[in-house]
Copies of this chain bind each other. A is one copy, B any other.
């Protein structure tokens, strides 16, 4: 470790190569998609709804630390992007059931891969976190 990277050669290069990374990650459509997946509650709700359809109140009990407002909003975002279907039933009081669409299910597969990774490595992450917090103090 601590070997100087080959890209940094002279002091001249040092200033020069800064300008030449032409990759444009901004304006990328992937970002819009990831942004929505990446919200605080979105992936969690996807996980829940992948298991089975749920009604609003059931979701609220399932994820107790979500505020009602954020649940409404996150569900609407998910619905807006076509991941989730919202069905209103004329019971009394009317009930609303949320379920994954085909698109939602298809994006759940890669999401689940990530979740699986998280399950397998969360102890490594926790260890790294503990080490970092210890060393910086």
Chain A residues near B (Cβ < 8 Å):
1-2, 4-5, 8, 11, 14, 18-19, 21, 23, 25-26, 29-40, 42-44, 47-48, 51, 53-55, 57-58, 61-65, 79-82, 87, 89, 91-92, 95, 97, 103, 106-107, 109-111, 113-119, 121-129, 131-133
> What are 20 A-to-B residue pairs whose CB atoms are below 8 Å?
A5-B53, A18-B61, A21-B62, A25-B44, A25-B63, A26-B63, A29-B123, A30-B119, A31-B44, A34-B43, A34-B44, A37-B38, A37-B118, A38-B40, A80-B133, A82-B124, A103-B124, A103-B128, A107-B117, A107-B121
Q: Which residues of B contact A114 (CB under 8 A)?
A: 34, 37, 107, 110-111, 113-114
Number of copies: 2
Does the CB pair A110–B113 fall under 8 Å? yes
Does the CB pair A118–B33 fall under 8 Å? yes
CA distance A34 to B30 in the complex (A): 18
Nearest neighbor of A88 in chain B, beta-carbon distance: B2
